[in-house]
Amino acid sequence: MSLYGMMRTGVSGMNAQANRLSTTADNIANSGTTGYKRASTEFSSMVIPSSTGNYTSGGVKTNVRYAITNQGDLKYTTSASDLAIDGEGFFVVQDASGSPVLTRAGSFVPDSQGRLVNSAGFYLMGYSFANGDPSAVANGFGGLEAVKISQSELVATPSRNGIFTANLPLDATVVAAANLPSANAATAAYSAKSSLVTYDNLGKEVILDVYFTKTAANTWEVAVYNKAQAGSPNAFPYSGPALTTQTLNFDATTGKLTAATPLSIAIPGGATLSLDISKTTQLGTSYTVLKGEVDGNAPSGIEKVEIGSDGTIYAQYQNGAFKALYRIPIATVQSPDQLAVLPGNVFTQSADSGDVRIGFANEGGMGAVISGALENSNADIAEELTNMIESQRTYTANSKVFQTGADLMDVLVNLKR
C-alpha cells in the first residue's frame, strides 16, 4: 500500500473516533435533560479496490443515530403540568414562530399568558373543547392551538346536560287531573318533589322544582317549574307556566320505564338543559333520589388543573366544578429513529421517518399521558464513560498509524541525500 493511503486511513480513523467522542460528550452533557434521546456513532468500512499483490487501505465513515424509540425512566413530580408519555408517541409543540414539532420533553409551566411552555421554550398544542368533543386530524397539525389556561378571568358555564335518577313509590296515591302540578292550580298535589341547581348564561343560579305525580297505575307525570316564580306559602300557583312536562310509563313487572326521552328544559336566561331520567324506577319503597347531577358553573376562577391519562385537560373551578378545556394529541411516525433532530430537544419528520400521524392517548398503539411525571434522559453515564475510554484509546492508536506513516515518508524523502 502507499504511505499516503496509510496516512489517509489513520486520519479517517481519528475523524471517526472524534465523531464518537462528540456524541459521547453530548450524551454526558444531557444526561439530566428531560426527554433527551441518546446519540450514537455507527461505523462502516470504506474499501478501495486493490490490484493483485498490492493492498490499498480505505478507511472508515460514521453515521450518527438517535435512540428515539428507547424510552427513558419516569421521574414523578408534584406538578400536574409535568407530562410524560408512557409508550409510543410524542407531544406536539410549537416554537414562537408557530412551527409545529415533536418532543418527549414535558416539563411544562404556564407563562405570563397562561400558555404551557417547556424549558426549551416550546408551547404545548392541543384540541379545544370550545366547539364540542374534539377529533384528531390524522394527517396533519390542523385544528391544533396552543394550550392556554388563563387564571385572570372568571368563567361562567351555562347548564346543558344533567342526570336525575330516583325511585318513585309504587303505592303512591293517584292524583286527579285537575289537581296535577301541570295544571298550576292552588289545589295542586304531587307525590314527590326535588330541586336542582342550574346556571344561566351569566352563571346565575336557577333552581328548578321537579314534581313527580302519580296519575294512574304505572303512570306518572313529571313537571318542572322555575322556583323563582313559586307562589307562597305552598309554591302553587307559580307565576309562570311549567318549563316542561312529560308522562312516564313504567313496566308493571320490572318497575322500569318503558320509554323515556330526556327532559328538554329551557333555562330562563340560559341554554336548553337535557335532563336524563331514563334510570328512574317505580318500586315498592319510598321516594329515593339516587343521582342528581347538572353541569355548568357560577362565575369562578380556575383553582387547579388536572390532566387525565387520555390527555384531557380539566380545569377545576373554585366552586368545585370541572370543565374539559383541551385534549392533548399524541403524534408518531413510521420510523421514529429516523426523525430529524433539532435544537431544544425536539424532532421533525424527515424523508426517512415517514409522515406524522396524529391520534389520542391509549388509542391505536399510542402511549398514555402521565401527569405529574417527566421522562428522564435515556443516556447511561457508565456506558458513555466506557465509550469515551474506548474512543480515546482508538484515537491514539490511529494517531500512531499516521505518525508511523509520516516517519516513513521522511525516510523516503531523505533517500536521495
Q: How confident is the model at residue 320 (pLDDT cuts 50, 70, 90)?
A: confident
pLDDT computed for residue 1 by the predictor: 52
Q: Is the CATH code 3.40.50.300 the one for domain 156-299?
A: no
β-bridge mates for residue 206, sequence order: 198
d(CA 19, CA 382): 19
52-56, 174-178, 222-226, 341-345, range with the lowest pLDDT: 52-56
pLDDT computed for residue 6 by the predictor: 82
Residue 280 has pLDDT above 90, yes or no: yes
The residues near 42 (Cβ < 8 Å, ≥ 6 apart) are 62, 63, 64, 65
Residue 166 has pLDDT above 70, yes or no: yes
Q: Where are the domains of the chain?
A: 3-70+378-416, 79-148+304-313+321-375, 156-299
β-bridge mates for residue 225, sequence order: 209
Q: How confident is the model at residue 5 (pLDDT cuts 50, 70, 90)?
A: confident
Q: How many CB atoms lie within 10 A of CB 368?
A: 16
> How many Å is the Cα radius of gyration of the chain?
35
Mean of pLDDT values over 62-74:
92
More confidently predicted of 230 and 149: 230
Rounded mean pLDDT of the chain?
Answer: 91
By percentage, how much of the chain surpasses pLDDT 90?
Answer: 71
d(CA 131, CA 148): 16
Mean of pLDDT values over 275-300:
93
d(CA 314, CA 127): 13
d(CA 406, CA 412): 10
Residue 7 has pLDDT above 90, yes or no: no
pLDDT computed for residue 122 by the predictor: 95
Q: Are 13 and 44 in contact (CB under 8 A)?
A: no
Give the pTM: 0.69
1-5, 74-78, 90-94, range with the lowest pLDDT: 1-5
pLDDT computed for residue 232 by the predictor: 78
pLDDT computed for residue 152 by the predictor: 63
Residue 252 has pLDDT above 60, yes or no: yes
Helix, strand or coil, per DSSP, at residue 400: helix
Residue 10 has pLDDT above 60, yes or no: yes
Q: Are 24 and 387 in contact (CB under 8 A)?
A: yes
pLDDT computed for residue 329 by the predictor: 95
Mean of pLDDT values over 71-92:
94
Q: How confident is the model at residue 312 (pLDDT cuts 50, 70, 90)?
A: very high
Burial class (CB in 10 A: 0-12, 13-18, 19+), 321: middle
Across 142-174, b (16+ Cβ under 10 Å) vs e yields ebbebbbbeeeeebbbbbbebbbbbbbbbebee
The residues near 49 (Cβ < 8 Å, ≥ 6 apart) are 56
pLDDT computed for residue 417 by the predictor: 64
Mean of pLDDT values over 376-381:
94
Nearest by Cα to 355 from 324, 371, 332: 332
Q: Are 39 and 23 in contact (CB under 8 A)?
A: yes
pLDDT of 85-107, one tens digit each?
999 999 999 998 889 999 999 99
Across 282-293, b (16+ Cβ under 10 Å) vs e yields beeeeeeeeebe
